Structure 1
């Protein structure tokens, strides 16, 4: 008489668990890095939107700091992954987005700047300029 085997052996099950563990160890950090990179759009959107409002102010009133079109000195980006600070003068401005909360783990692009000349810059957590964040 032959016995009919049913189910999986413990060795087969442990092999599958090991393979899934290895794949997860490789895929999870890559996924998290991709998510952090996609959150950078939150800073770019906030800086561009604020710059556009300031340019409208210059067009309408002749200065960036006119009382009819104020911009808060600090505020959060739309998804709150960045804190935006605005340094607005009569004929110039500098906007800075600094990572906060969960986005602090994005050490490669921790801070973005945009000024009234349209100059864009990004910096890592050490303050060094980075070329590929924008």
Structure 2
């Protein structure tokens, strides 16, 4: 009986800690996805002298597009539509967790953004800047 109680206590501590670490490790997928999409925008700009909102021009079927293991979706906005973003021509790429897969419970890093100037930012679930924690 004592062994069962001790095991229960250990599991009640270990499982939430493990889940938190899994969520943190999946953030890499979001950062990689926004940087990849930003590089595709720059490649498009180098041949067209303009940024695009077209998913097809950037190698996707549609936006928002689920990426990697489908824990995040990315979207692009041109000209940049984020608050305080650079003037046109510009773009911003944002990754947000896909609802219902567990990653949407990551309250520290609810979105990742890169804009055409290379500025990286992140917001928590309260829309407060969490760039230092997430990037």
Same fold (TM over 0.5): yes
Q: TM-score range by the shorter chain?
A: 0.7 to 0.9
Q: Find the counterpart in structure 2 of residue 47 from structure 1.
A: 34
Q: Quick one: structure 1 residues 70 and 88, their matched pair in 2 at CA, closer, same or farther if it must change by over 3 Å?
A: farther
Instruction: Could you tell me which runs of 5 or more consecutive residues in structure 2 were left unpaired when the two chains were aligned.
Output: 80-87
Please give the secondary structure, in 1, of the residue aligned with 2:114.
strand
| Aligned residue pairs, count | 120
Please say if residues 53 and 77 of structure 2, whose CA atoms lie closer than 8 Å, have aligned partners that are also in contact. Answer: no
Q: What TM-score, normalized by structure 1, do the two folds share?
A: 0.81
Q: Report deviation, 1:61.
A: 2.5
Greater relative contact order, per chain length (Cα 8 Å cut-off, separation 6+): 2
Q: How far apart are 1:88 and its partner, in Å?
A: 2.1
**Is there any run of 5+ residues in structure 1 with no aligned partner, and where?**
1-13
Report the secondary structure of 2:93's partner residue: strand
RMSD: 1.8
Change (3 A) 1:129 1:66: closer
Q: CA deviation at 1:39?
A: 0.8
1:15 aligns with 2:7: no
